[in-house]
Amino acid sequence: MRTLEDAVVVITGASRGIGRGIAEEFGRGGARVVVNYHQSKAAAEEVVESLLKNGAKAAIAIQADVSDPEQAAGLIEETIKQFVRIDLLVNNAGINVDRSLRHMTVEDWRSVIERDLSSQFYTTKAAINHFVEQSSGAIINMGSVAGLVGNFGQANYAAAKAGILGLTKTAALELARYNVTVNAVCAGPVDTPMWEAVPPDVKASILKRIPLNRVATVHEVARAVRYLYEDGEYYTGEALNMTGGWIMA
Protein backbone atom coordinates (compact mmCIF):
# COMPACT_ATOMS: atom_id res chain seq x y z
CA MET A 1 0.00 0.00 0.00
CA ARG A 2 1.24 3.47 -0.86
CA THR A 3 1.79 5.79 2.07
CA LEU A 4 1.90 9.55 2.42
CA GLU A 5 4.87 9.41 4.79
CA ASP A 6 7.77 11.05 2.92
CA ALA A 7 5.88 10.96 -0.40
CA VAL A 8 6.71 13.86 -2.71
CA VAL A 9 3.43 15.44 -3.81
CA VAL A 10 3.05 18.26 -6.35
CA ILE A 11 -0.28 20.11 -6.28
CA THR A 12 -0.98 22.74 -8.91
CA GLY A 13 -3.09 25.72 -7.90
CA ALA A 14 -2.57 24.96 -4.22
CA SER A 15 -2.61 28.42 -2.67
CA ARG A 16 -6.36 28.40 -2.01
CA GLY A 17 -9.62 26.48 -2.29
CA ILE A 18 -9.58 22.80 -3.18
CA GLY A 19 -5.85 22.82 -3.92
CA ARG A 20 -5.05 24.14 -0.48
CA GLY A 21 -7.36 21.57 1.10
CA ILE A 22 -5.54 18.77 -0.70
CA ALA A 23 -2.17 20.17 0.36
CA GLU A 24 -3.29 20.28 3.99
CA GLU A 25 -4.64 16.74 3.86
CA PHE A 26 -1.41 15.36 2.42
CA GLY A 27 0.68 17.46 4.77
CA ARG A 28 -1.07 15.96 7.79
CA GLY A 29 -0.10 12.55 6.43
CA GLY A 30 3.60 13.42 6.53
CA ALA A 31 4.14 14.10 2.83
CA ARG A 32 6.66 16.45 1.25
CA VAL A 33 4.38 18.95 -0.43
CA VAL A 34 5.06 21.26 -3.36
CA VAL A 35 2.57 24.13 -3.29
CA ASN A 36 2.32 25.49 -6.81
CA TYR A 37 0.88 28.95 -7.37
CA HIS A 38 0.58 31.36 -10.26
CA GLN A 39 0.23 34.84 -8.72
CA SER A 40 -0.72 34.38 -5.05
CA LYS A 41 2.76 34.26 -3.55
CA ALA A 42 1.78 35.43 -0.06
CA ALA A 43 -1.09 32.94 0.12
CA ALA A 44 1.15 30.09 -1.06
CA GLU A 45 3.81 30.93 1.51
CA GLU A 46 1.12 31.00 4.21
CA VAL A 47 0.02 27.51 3.13
CA VAL A 48 3.62 26.29 3.37
CA GLU A 49 3.95 27.74 6.87
CA SER A 50 0.73 26.03 7.92
CA LEU A 51 1.81 22.69 6.45
CA LEU A 52 5.12 22.73 8.30
CA LYS A 53 3.31 23.37 11.58
CA ASN A 54 0.81 20.56 11.03
CA GLY A 55 2.72 17.44 10.11
CA ALA A 56 4.25 17.89 6.66
CA LYS A 57 7.75 16.44 6.41
CA ALA A 58 8.66 19.31 4.09
CA ALA A 59 6.84 21.98 2.12
CA ILE A 60 7.89 24.54 -0.47
CA ALA A 61 6.08 27.00 -2.73
CA ILE A 62 6.99 27.08 -6.42
CA GLN A 63 5.66 29.75 -8.77
CA ALA A 64 4.64 28.59 -12.23
CA ASP A 65 1.87 29.38 -14.67
CA VAL A 66 1.14 25.79 -15.65
CA SER A 67 -0.77 26.92 -18.74
CA ASP A 68 2.69 27.76 -20.12
CA PRO A 69 4.49 24.54 -21.14
CA GLU A 70 7.95 25.84 -20.21
CA GLN A 71 6.83 26.97 -16.76
CA ALA A 72 4.98 23.69 -16.21
CA ALA A 73 8.16 21.79 -17.05
CA GLY A 74 10.09 24.09 -14.74
CA LEU A 75 7.75 23.22 -11.86
CA ILE A 76 8.50 19.53 -12.26
CA GLU A 77 12.23 20.05 -12.70
CA GLU A 78 12.45 22.23 -9.59
CA THR A 79 10.58 19.54 -7.67
CA ILE A 80 13.13 16.94 -8.76
CA LYS A 81 15.96 19.30 -7.89
CA GLN A 82 14.58 19.82 -4.38
CA PHE A 83 13.30 16.33 -3.59
CA VAL A 84 14.97 13.98 -6.14
CA ARG A 85 11.70 12.23 -7.01
CA ILE A 86 7.97 12.77 -7.49
CA ASP A 87 5.39 10.31 -6.18
CA LEU A 88 2.13 12.10 -6.93
CA LEU A 89 1.08 14.86 -9.29
CA VAL A 90 -2.29 16.45 -8.53
CA ASN A 91 -3.46 18.54 -11.47
CA ASN A 92 -5.82 20.97 -9.79
CA ALA A 93 -5.13 24.44 -11.25
CA GLY A 94 -7.97 25.97 -13.19
CA ILE A 95 -10.20 28.96 -13.82
CA ASN A 96 -13.67 29.61 -15.12
CA VAL A 97 -14.93 32.38 -17.38
CA ASP A 98 -18.67 31.86 -17.66
CA ARG A 99 -20.73 33.15 -20.57
CA SER A 100 -23.32 31.69 -22.90
CA LEU A 101 -22.01 30.51 -26.26
CA ARG A 102 -23.57 33.55 -27.94
CA HIS A 103 -21.44 35.88 -25.83
CA MET A 104 -18.31 33.79 -25.24
CA THR A 105 -15.25 35.22 -26.96
CA VAL A 106 -12.43 33.27 -28.52
CA GLU A 107 -10.18 34.50 -25.72
CA ASP A 108 -12.70 33.29 -23.11
CA TRP A 109 -12.53 29.86 -24.74
CA ARG A 110 -8.77 29.71 -25.13
CA SER A 111 -7.93 30.96 -21.64
CA VAL A 112 -10.03 28.29 -19.93
CA ILE A 113 -8.94 25.45 -22.23
CA GLU A 114 -5.28 26.35 -21.69
CA ARG A 115 -5.50 26.78 -17.91
CA ASP A 116 -7.86 23.88 -17.19
CA LEU A 117 -6.96 21.24 -19.81
CA SER A 118 -3.68 22.00 -21.57
CA SER A 119 -1.97 22.64 -18.24
CA GLN A 120 -2.67 19.05 -17.21
CA PHE A 121 -1.03 17.80 -20.38
CA TYR A 122 2.00 20.07 -19.85
CA THR A 123 2.67 18.96 -16.27
CA THR A 124 1.97 15.30 -17.03
CA LYS A 125 4.27 15.42 -20.06
CA ALA A 126 7.03 16.93 -17.93
CA ALA A 127 6.65 14.30 -15.18
CA ILE A 128 6.32 11.16 -17.32
CA ASN A 129 10.01 10.33 -17.68
CA HIS A 130 10.54 10.65 -13.93
CA PHE A 131 7.66 8.29 -13.22
CA VAL A 132 8.96 5.82 -15.81
CA GLU A 133 12.47 5.86 -14.34
CA GLN A 134 11.04 5.24 -10.87
CA SER A 135 8.61 2.55 -12.11
CA SER A 136 6.06 4.03 -9.72
CA GLY A 137 3.86 7.03 -9.16
CA ALA A 138 0.38 8.43 -9.47
CA ILE A 139 -1.41 11.25 -11.24
CA ILE A 140 -4.78 12.56 -10.07
CA ASN A 141 -6.57 15.03 -12.33
CA MET A 142 -9.31 17.26 -10.99
CA GLY A 143 -12.32 17.04 -13.26
CA SER A 144 -15.87 18.24 -12.62
CA VAL A 145 -19.49 17.24 -12.93
CA ALA A 146 -19.60 19.86 -15.71
CA GLY A 147 -17.46 17.57 -17.84
CA LEU A 148 -20.02 14.80 -17.41
CA VAL A 149 -23.29 16.63 -18.01
CA GLY A 150 -22.38 20.06 -19.38
CA ASN A 151 -23.49 23.29 -17.75
CA PHE A 152 -25.29 26.36 -19.04
CA GLY A 153 -22.82 29.21 -19.65
CA GLN A 154 -19.78 26.96 -19.25
CA ALA A 155 -19.04 25.56 -22.70
CA ASN A 156 -15.31 26.25 -22.29
CA TYR A 157 -15.14 24.85 -18.74
CA ALA A 158 -17.27 21.79 -19.52
CA ALA A 159 -15.24 21.04 -22.65
CA ALA A 160 -11.99 21.30 -20.68
CA LYS A 161 -13.27 19.03 -17.92
CA ALA A 162 -14.58 16.49 -20.42
CA GLY A 163 -11.19 16.55 -22.15
CA ILE A 164 -9.53 15.77 -18.82
CA LEU A 165 -11.38 12.45 -18.74
CA GLY A 166 -10.00 11.49 -22.16
CA LEU A 167 -6.51 12.55 -21.13
CA THR A 168 -6.81 10.56 -17.90
CA LYS A 169 -7.86 7.34 -19.63
CA THR A 170 -5.17 7.60 -22.31
CA ALA A 171 -2.41 8.35 -19.81
CA ALA A 172 -3.61 5.44 -17.67
CA LEU A 173 -3.34 3.06 -20.63
CA GLU A 174 0.13 4.26 -21.57
CA LEU A 175 1.60 4.36 -18.06
CA ALA A 176 0.14 1.19 -16.54
CA ARG A 177 3.15 -0.86 -17.71
CA TYR A 178 5.34 1.38 -15.56
CA ASN A 179 3.25 0.91 -12.40
CA VAL A 180 1.88 4.45 -12.64
CA THR A 181 -1.84 5.03 -11.99
CA VAL A 182 -3.83 7.89 -13.47
CA ASN A 183 -7.30 8.80 -12.21
CA ALA A 184 -9.68 11.75 -12.03
CA VAL A 185 -11.92 13.19 -9.33
CA CYS A 186 -15.12 14.74 -10.67
CA ALA A 187 -16.80 16.76 -7.96
CA GLY A 188 -20.01 18.70 -8.10
CA PRO A 189 -20.21 22.11 -6.44
CA VAL A 190 -17.79 22.53 -3.53
CA ASP A 191 -18.03 24.97 -0.62
CA THR A 192 -15.33 27.41 -1.71
CA PRO A 193 -15.32 31.20 -2.25
CA MET A 194 -16.34 30.46 -5.85
CA TRP A 195 -19.53 28.81 -4.60
CA GLU A 196 -20.18 31.64 -2.17
CA ALA A 197 -20.15 34.07 -5.09
CA VAL A 198 -22.97 32.23 -6.89
CA PRO A 199 -26.29 34.15 -6.73
CA PRO A 200 -28.82 32.64 -4.28
CA ASP A 201 -31.37 31.77 -6.99
CA VAL A 202 -28.72 29.91 -9.00
CA LYS A 203 -27.60 28.06 -5.86
CA ALA A 204 -31.16 26.98 -5.21
CA SER A 205 -31.50 25.71 -8.78
CA ILE A 206 -28.29 23.70 -8.48
CA LEU A 207 -29.21 22.19 -5.13
CA LYS A 208 -32.48 20.90 -6.62
CA ARG A 209 -30.37 18.63 -8.84
CA ILE A 210 -28.45 17.15 -5.90
CA PRO A 211 -30.32 14.43 -3.96
CA LEU A 212 -28.20 15.07 -0.84
CA ASN A 213 -29.28 18.73 -1.07
CA ARG A 214 -25.87 20.19 -0.24
CA VAL A 215 -22.50 20.89 -1.80
CA ALA A 216 -19.31 19.01 -0.97
CA THR A 217 -16.78 20.34 1.51
CA VAL A 218 -13.17 20.93 0.55
CA HIS A 219 -12.21 18.32 3.16
CA GLU A 220 -14.37 15.68 1.47
CA VAL A 221 -12.71 16.32 -1.89
CA ALA A 222 -9.25 16.22 -0.31
CA ARG A 223 -10.06 12.91 1.40
CA ALA A 224 -11.17 11.46 -1.94
CA VAL A 225 -7.83 12.42 -3.49
CA ARG A 226 -6.00 10.90 -0.54
CA TYR A 227 -8.00 7.69 -0.90
CA LEU A 228 -7.08 7.33 -4.56
CA TYR A 229 -3.41 7.71 -3.69
CA GLU A 230 -3.14 5.62 -0.53
CA ASP A 231 -5.71 2.90 -1.22
CA GLY A 232 -6.27 3.16 -4.94
CA GLU A 233 -3.36 1.21 -6.37
CA TYR A 234 -5.76 -0.96 -8.37
CA TYR A 235 -7.65 2.04 -9.73
CA THR A 236 -6.46 3.48 -13.01
CA GLY A 237 -8.24 5.27 -15.84
CA GLU A 238 -11.17 5.84 -13.51
CA ALA A 239 -13.25 8.89 -12.63
CA LEU A 240 -14.39 9.10 -9.02
CA ASN A 241 -17.67 10.98 -9.24
CA MET A 242 -18.55 12.75 -6.00
CA THR A 243 -21.66 14.71 -6.86
CA GLY A 244 -24.07 14.10 -3.97
CA GLY A 245 -26.15 11.91 -6.27
CA TRP A 246 -26.31 14.33 -9.21
CA ILE A 247 -24.82 11.59 -11.41
CA MET A 248 -26.22 8.11 -10.85
CA ALA A 249 -25.63 6.46 -14.24
Q: Hey, which residues are catalytic here?
A: 157
DSSP 8-state assignment for residue 44: H
Collapse the DSSP code of 152 into the 3-class scheme (helix H, G, I; strand E, B; otherwise coil) and give the result. coil
Please report, in angstroms and rounded to a whole number, the separation of the first and last CA atoms in the chain: 30
Residue 63 CA to residue 8 CA, distance in Å, equals: 17
Burial 201-213 (b: 16+ CB within 10 A, else e): eeeeebeebbeee
Residue 43 CA to residue 38 CA, distance in Å, equals: 11
Report which of 49, 41, 193 is spatially closest to residue 33, judged by C-alpha positions. Answer: 49
